[in-house]
Structure 1
Amino acid sequence: MLNIQRVLFPTDFSDGSKRAFPQAAFLADWHDAELHILNVTGRHRHDYKETKKNFPISPDTLTEWLRRPAQSVEGTTWPDLEALPIEQSQIEASTPAESIVTYADDKNIDLVVMGTHGRRGVDRMLFGSVTEEVVRRAPCPVFTVRADADKTPGQAVRRVLVPIDFSDASESAVQHAKEIALTYGAEIDLLHVVEPPFYPSAYGIDTTTFPTQEVVDRVEKQLGDMAREEIGYEHVMVSATVGHPPSEILNYVDENEVDLVVIATHGRTGLERALLGSVTERVLRRSPAPAFVVKPTRKSLLPSAKTAATQET
């Protein structure tokens, strides 16, 4: 089980943030963790008076956000909000992302669960995304849910996808995915995308025959070895494909009914990130499935070796 003691759910009362609440409540309840609810507002916001009036959020409103259906699927459990330790805070500031990151740091938060508005194009370029900035700067993993997600994430994780690039970062994602899959009783898919090389025609190099099927087969074998060594149980599928990584990952999500993407970020910042972009951020913007972003250089939620040995015993 992941080591989660404090879950942070930032909300701006939008539909996007409400979509993330079931996941935040479920994970906090499952791990016997505190649930921190944070609203960042300010007099510059058009809904300032309304957010001040409606905070702290009432138990009835939180129950509504839980989106519990009238008839639950047999075998599923729902968080008991009355028994869940909930701490609510409201901050007045003009920089939501910075306030969320600071709160996560000050309160030693283990996991941030938040929605994304899914902005695209010029709007996203001009205004940026609070969620993307939190993903880049938070001291812990971040769980994101798109505003147009069509599933209640807290009860719909049956298949977990982990994109692999064979870096230390993706290996950390595999280890987190294993614990997440055990939490939900889900299966894991490991996917590697072989990106064809590009050379200017002036080089006189023919790349039409690369990568060969031999390369793809070799990659799948490596994925199989990783599945056996790092996960160690039979509910794992491995796949290698050729193409542009973000596009192929998103295609895989659509075609295989993936419920959750566990993906690592390498933590690029500044000019390097602006020029090269980030596979992780591109997947976050467009994935219809929630995403759990692992940050190997920041806080890990993996149980210590001692704790893991105790759990196995």
Structure 2
Amino acid sequence: MKTSIIHKILVPIDYSEASTNALRLAIAMCQRHKAQLRLLHIINSSRYSVNSIAFGADSWVSIPLEEAVDADVRQLRQWAEEKLHDQSIQYSVECRAGATTDCLVEAAEEFGTDLIVMHAQTTSGFLQYVLGSTTYHVIKQAPCPVLTVPEHAQINAFHEILFPVRPVPGAITKYNLARTIAQRNRAHLTVLGLFNQESSEIIKRLGTVVLSLNKLLAKDAIDAQVLLSQSDSAVKTVLEQAEERQADLIIITADNATSEHRLFRGPFFKQLINRAPVPVLSIKPRLPVTKANAQDKPLPILPTFRQFLPALPG
């Protein structure tokens, strides 16, 4: 088994049941990957810049922000000791004041975070296409992958991992992290290739990605299978396959690409996170997704893969 690439995990804490569930999963991951844990509580600084507390009958005493942060650090440390006193992991706590996304991203950079584990509320309907949640902006700006845990999900380990593959630049980037998670959990991994018949170039590009993954899976001796699915809705297909296979983790490429093709309309990762009932690991591609990248000439498909695909023109 190769050395884990997860050494430091950051978890934002707001004392809710949802963040406690995210912490429970992060603790289990720290134990499996022998990683350090950092708990972060973010304070709304405006709460202390204008508010005061009653003192006596007629007087008021303002609370300096520094004192508020110190008080919150003490509260977080006491809370962490109650949750982690019997866990064999290294951990530390931190409080920051400011905007949630900015504080979380800055803390991740300074801590050298390999993975952020945070809770995410699930939504549905038209709002999933137009609203930018804190989770969405954290994923876009974070220097590392982000594992989002639905607010009511209570998961400590992964047994079935769904690995959707789309023909977008950087789609194979997420494999290294998927491999280490699968190995540490001794999980089964299902690669799900998504395509439609609107473009033979898309199918060819997908074929190249899946062939590369097949070689890596065989080399690393991962318990895995490869499936291909023709669909007009990537999100719907992924959710259906996750339910059918009882997946407890979905690993996706977090790109902002949209497409004229119906299969990939809208930010794929945002829709999926909003609707998935299980944790979703979002990994940004190393290369920026641009129009030029999306139109690169695809590499030829090896003959051994053609048996899985519909007949291609030419």
Fold in common (TM above 0.5): yes
Tell me the TM-score normalised to structure 2 length.
0.70
Q: Match of 1:113?
A: 117
Task: Give, in whole Å, the separation in 2 of the partners of 1:41 and 1:123.
Answer: 27
Asked whether 1:104 is paired with 2:100, we answer: no
Q: Is the 8 A contact 1:220 1:240 kept in 2?
A: no
* Change beyond 3 A, Cα 1:223–1:107: closer
Asked whether 1:55 is paired with 2:76, we answer: yes
Q: Percent identity?
A: 21
Q: Match of 1:240?
A: 228
Q: Helix, strand or coil for the counterpart of 1:297?
A: coil
> Which moved further from structure 2: 220-229 or 173-182?
220-229
Q: Runs (4+) of structure 1 moved beyond 3 Å?
A: 43-46, 51-54, 119-128, 218-228
Deviations 1:57-105 (A, max 9, x none): 43464259xxxxxxxxxxxxxxx52x32211011122x10111001111
Task: Give, in whole Å, the separation in 2 of the partners of 1:129 and 1:221.
Answer: 34
Q: Within 5 A, what are the aligned runs for 1:1-313?
A: 1-42=3-44, 52=72, 54-59=75-80, 61-63=82-84, 80-81=86-87, 83-93=88-98, 95-120=99-124, 128-149=132-153, 152-155=154-157, 157-197=158-198, 225-232=211-218, 233=221, 235-243=223-231, 244-267=233-256, 277-297=266-286
Q: Helix, strand or coil for the counterpart of 1:153?
A: coil
* Change beyond 3 A, Cα 1:224–1:171: closer
| Structure 2 gaps, min length 5 | 49-64, 259-263, 288-314
* Change beyond 3 A, Cα 1:293–1:219: same
What residue identity is the alignment partner of 2:240?
N
* Change beyond 3 A, Cα 1:118–1:54: farther
* Change beyond 3 A, Cα 1:102–1:268: farther
Deviations 1:199-251 (A, max 9, x none): xxxxxxxxxxx99xxx99x9997676444301113621221122211111111
* Change beyond 3 A, Cα 1:17–1:162: same
Q: Is the 8 A contact 1:175 1:230 kept in 2?
A: no
Tell me the TM-score normalised to structure 1 length.
0.71
What residue identity is the alignment partner of 1:131?
T
Q: Is the 8 A contact 1:8 1:104 kept in 2?
A: yes
* Change beyond 3 A, Cα 1:280–1:86: same
RMSD of aligned residue pairs (Cα, Å): 3.5
Task: Give, in whole Å, the separation in 1 of the partners of 2:255 and 2:207.
Answer: 24
* Change beyond 3 A, Cα 1:119–1:21: same
